[in-house]
Structure 1
Amino acid sequence: MQNPILATDSYKHSHFLQYPPEARAISSYGESRANDFADEVLFLGLQPFLIDYLGTAVTASHVEEAAAICAAHGVPFNREGWDLIVREHGGYLPVEVSALEEGRMVPTSVPLFQVVNTDERMPWLATFIETALLRAVWYPTTVGTLSRKCKSVIAAGLEKTSDDPAGQLPFKLHDFGARGVSSGESAALGGMAHLVNFSGTDTLEGIMAARRYYGAEMPGFSIPAAEHSTMTSWGQAREAAAYENMLDSFDGEGALVAVVSDSYDLDAAVANIWGGSLKDKVLSRKGTLVVRPDSGDPVETPARTLARLWDIFGGTTNAKGYRVLDPHVRVIQGDGMNAGSIARLVARLVADGFAIDNIAFGMGGGLLQQVDRDTLRFAMKANAMRDACGVWHDVMKDPATDPGKASKAGRQAVIKENGRLVARRLDAVDPDADLLRPVWRNGELLVRHSFDDLRARSWPQG
């Protein structure tokens, strides 16, 4: 799967024969079209594509393999073009990529990036890379947008109920999605996108991606936590002993340990074990026990668990008038969480008089897998062709059967008007005002964003 010539749709290999003979350059842009999920998107994922895909030089061996595959597969192969890339460009695709800054919140229907070939013999290149480029961007952008949508809901709950909303927010949504995605690469890119918004994760691939592509040192953290196998292996008769072992094994000043507590009977475990035989031990520890309900209604069950823990362990009322559990006890709800259920659970706890400090949320497949290219209606379309005389001609589609799929005509620019990003024709604006800036040209990365850059842009403070 490492041959960049084959990281495309089959039909792309026939497109070099389809452009007009006068074509010297094709410009193509990518955007999230208007959709029902979000009005703005968190732009992420271009830099990994530049580093891994465009940063991989095509070799003669790649060309030989691709030629054989295409011949057997039944599609044409542009042997002359790929040989030129290897011989004259050192294997690096002669393209320029311009883009907005990653980490920005960008309104839908505003171009995120624009690609054009730099070798006039290869006008087919800008659209040839569509498959790999669009795939690289739509997925982390969609996961990041979803994660940030949840962040906005949780942040509003904290602002209303917490004395320290900024300090609480980074660890309020935890990524449990590694096992629920289609590949390790998905775990890496999706997990990395979530970490732009939050610092809690169990997806180690996401941490490694943030380190590799954006120079992060340690962008995500986790805690010791039980799973059902480690609890049920003790047997139901020794459930209390299994819990006690967790308390003894993972204690320390400021330490947290999460214990799944629904292996048999959640309500009984809360009342009779955590609030019964182990209550004194819980209160005598230096660290914090995080009780995890893992079944039942995703709103009612954690709300009920939190209320019972309050009855047992008590707590304080903060300056905003909301109840905060004794610091030795907290709750995490990781089952059935999505943007909608998180919003309902936050509303329920606020209505019950509890600060959102008391709970953390976890998402698995709902965060990293239950999205697709149509969630944010991503598309990449050709928008202009330059002829042999150097004149740019508009290129666009405008299907009568679906006006919503109309594409933009002409080379695009993105400018700021009244504090908001808008798309304009490049030939109608001051080029210096265009925020689509070159980030890659002919094998060279021109701009490198850090992970701190992404976080700062995605959630500006002050």
Structure 2
Amino acid sequence: MNTVATLNAGPSSASPIAALLAADGYKQSHRMAYTPGTTAILINWTNRSNRFLPDATHAVHFGVQAFCQQYLNEAWAPFFAAHEDTVATEFEKVLLDYFGPNDIGSDHIRALHRKGYLPLVVRSLPEGTLAPIGIATVLIENTDAEFFWLPNYIETALSASIWHPTTVATISSLYRELVEEWGARTGGDADGIGFQAHDFSFRGQHSIDAAAASGAGHLLSFLGTDTMSALDWISRYYPGENGWVGASVPATEHSVMCLEGRAGELDTFQRILKVFPEGIVSTVADGFDFWGVLTNLLPQMKDQIMARDGKLVIRPDSGDPVDIITGEIIVKDQESRAMYEAEKAAGAYGPADLGAIEVLGDLFGYTVNERGYKELDSHIGLIYGDSITLERAKQIFERLEAKGWASTNVVLGIGSYTFAYLTRDVLGSAVKATWALVNGNPVDIQKDPKTGSGKKSAKGRLAVLRDETGELYMVEQATPAQEKQSEIRPVWIDGQFVAAQSFAEVRSTLEAERAARAERRARDLVQI
């Protein structure tokens, strides 16, 4: 086979066995290893731990609808469309190359092909639900006794498909809570909250598909994104009347700002202002000397900037983000703040001491809001999009407050360190079997390793109910009546959706869940 010629021949048709191979290798032998007489298996998906994300007492449930459409429907379509002999022959060849001589065979694959669909039922909490850590959010079982092996066979694809968007959605929800808390505390403009955390992670994601799914998770809590692939992903897998899904603004990168060198930097800035005479435009400003831009170039452009019908947003992109934004002089209390203001007025501090927020405020002016915090003039703004974490975001807001600035003066770009430097372990996400039917008898299954108590799994049929406060809790070894009342309900059965949500509905669910959780916490504080 000529590799170059094969690749140059053009797009190949979808592999009829690709979906079959979207599983860990050891899954191929499990069908033969199960107890004889097994006819049904129930598996669940649970985010079991927040050890690596302690602020996340709850996880945002997200991604199962996309999994059902992208994997259970789209990925398996070529398998069912191909001829049975083609599927079986290709599958057997892979098994031989992979395992060597084996007894796995392809009769079960032929039977599945003749079935014409995946005989499964997928049950799920409504997406957007804030599920307490340790609560099952997805249940899957077979609908045909012959295919008892199928629920656990698709475990790998299920896990690979939803752990990342769930984790990112959870992290972005924490950012949303943080910016709302500090916005309310410092009296900032609530209209800008939806854009205060902006997705800059695309280039550092593991793949284009990963960026799209992750970007959708972020957009459940915010509108700001540069990950445009998320928009198509959302329209494909969460269609409906979704309204305003995401947005960004014209912005420059270093190739633009550095093209004319240090000597041409002022001309470059002025050209950008002419090319974009109105609206918001963002310019990266650390190509050569960030503080020089703020103290030398911006004063030369002040009249042009103030005459625009819009905002010029300045973007530093190097250094410690906390210090760059708020300055290297730390103000801890009102007494030190008064001393700081006096020393600043006496010219004791340079721009790095003051931070970008103070330098821009001194140059362009500011107003004071009803809570007594300063807000930059509407013609100038500030965004930082490098090395931002939840902890650094909190530090930035704390320092801004200490210096008398509203938290909403700064937009934070969230990059791949936050959205891609993750694993399934961040939320301890896992799929486990909890129940089976063997020779007509129900069997509760539980993993309970003596060497790892944190990996103990749930047991039996499962139901998720709400207590008198509205909080979710899980019932193990649930009765049929409890299962009927469960918040986990069928969404996909035997190849067809029986329930679905638009992206707007998932967003609304999450917003309502955050509000309800805030009310519960407020009640708990009153009782204390």
| TM-score (structure 2 length as normaliser) | 0.84
> Hey, what does 1:231 align to over in structure 2?
257
Structure 1 residues 19-418: aligned runs within 5 Å: 19-36=34-51, 37=53, 38-55=56-73, 56-57=76-77, 58-59=79-80, 60=84, 61-74=86-99, 77-87=104-114, 89-90=115-116, 92-165=117-190, 167-215=191-239, 216=242, 218-252=244-278, 255-274=279-298, 276-303=299-326, 304-389=355-440, 391-418=441-468
TM-fit CA distance, 1:431? 3.2
- Asked if the contact 1:211/1:217 (under 8 Å) is kept, the reply is no
Q: Matched residues in 1 for 2:21 and 2:188: separation?
A: 54
Aligned residue-pair number: 455
Q: Matched residues in 1 for 2:163 and 2:481: separation?
A: 28
* 3-state SS of paired residue (1:244): helix
Out of 459, 468, 471, the residue aligned to residue 420 of structure 1 is 471
Moved over 4 A (4+): none
Q: Structure 2 counterpart of 1:29, which letter?
A: N
Runs of 5+ in structure 1 lacking a partner?
none
TM-fit CA distance, 1:52? 1.3
TM-fit CA distance, 1:67? 2.1
TM-fit CA distance, 1:376? 0.4
* 3-state SS of paired residue (2:42): strand
- Asked if the contact 1:256/1:287 (under 8 Å) is kept, the reply is yes
What do residues 354-400 of structure 1 show as CA deviations (whole Å, max 9, x unaligned)?
112211000111232111100000110010111232x3111111100
Q: Matched residues in 2 for 1:70 and 1:142: separation?
A: 34
> Hey, what does 1:7 align to over in structure 2?
22
TM-fit CA distance, 1:162? 2.6
What do residues 231-255 of structure 1 show as CA deviations (whole Å, max 9, x unaligned)?
1001100111111111111122xx1
Q: Matched residues in 1 for 2:438 and 2:464: separation?
A: 24
Q: Structure 1 counterpart of 2:136, which letter?
A: P
Q: Matched residues in 2 for 1:68 and 1:83: separation?
A: 15
- Asked if the contact 1:40/1:107 (under 8 Å) is kept, the reply is yes
TM-fit CA distance, 1:343? 1.0
* 3-state SS of paired residue (2:127): coil
> Hey, what does 1:441 align to over in structure 2?
493
TM-fit CA distance, 1:139? 0.7
Q: Structure 2 counterpart of 1:273, which letter?
A: L
**More moved, 208-217 vs 397-406:** 208-217
Out of 500, 505, 518, the residue aligned to residue 453 of structure 1 is 505
Q: Matched residues in 2 for 1:77 and 1:222: separation?
A: 52
Q: Structure 1 counterpart of 2:505, which letter?
A: D
* 3-state SS of paired residue (1:439): strand
Runs of 5+ in structure 2 lacking a partner?
1-13, 327-354, 517-528
- Asked if the contact 1:23/1:385 (under 8 Å) is kept, the reply is yes
Q: Give the % identical residues.
A: 33
- Asked if the contact 1:260/1:293 (under 8 Å) is kept, the reply is yes
TM-fit CA distance, 1:66? 2.2
Decide which structure has the larger Cα Rg and report it.
2
* 3-state SS of paired residue (2:504): helix
Could you say if the C-alpha distance between residues 299 and 62 of structure 1 is closer, same or farther in structure 2, counting changes exceeding 3 Å?
farther
What do residues 333-355 of structure 1 show as CA deviations (whole Å, max 9, x unaligned)?
11110111111111111111111
Q: Are residue 430 (structure 1) and residue 482 (structure 2) matched?
A: yes
* 3-state SS of paired residue (1:258): strand
> Hey, what does 2:341 align to over in structure 1?
none
* 3-state SS of paired residue (1:431): helix
- Asked if the contact 2:462/2:483 (under 8 Å) is kept, the reply is no
Alignment root-mean-square deviation, CA: 1.5
- Asked if the contact 1:207/1:220 (under 8 Å) is kept, the reply is yes
| TM-score (structure 1 length as normaliser) | 0.96
Could you say if the C-alpha distance between residues 349 and 119 of structure 1 is closer, same or farther in structure 2, counting changes exceeding 3 Å?
same
TM-fit CA distance, 1:218? 4.7
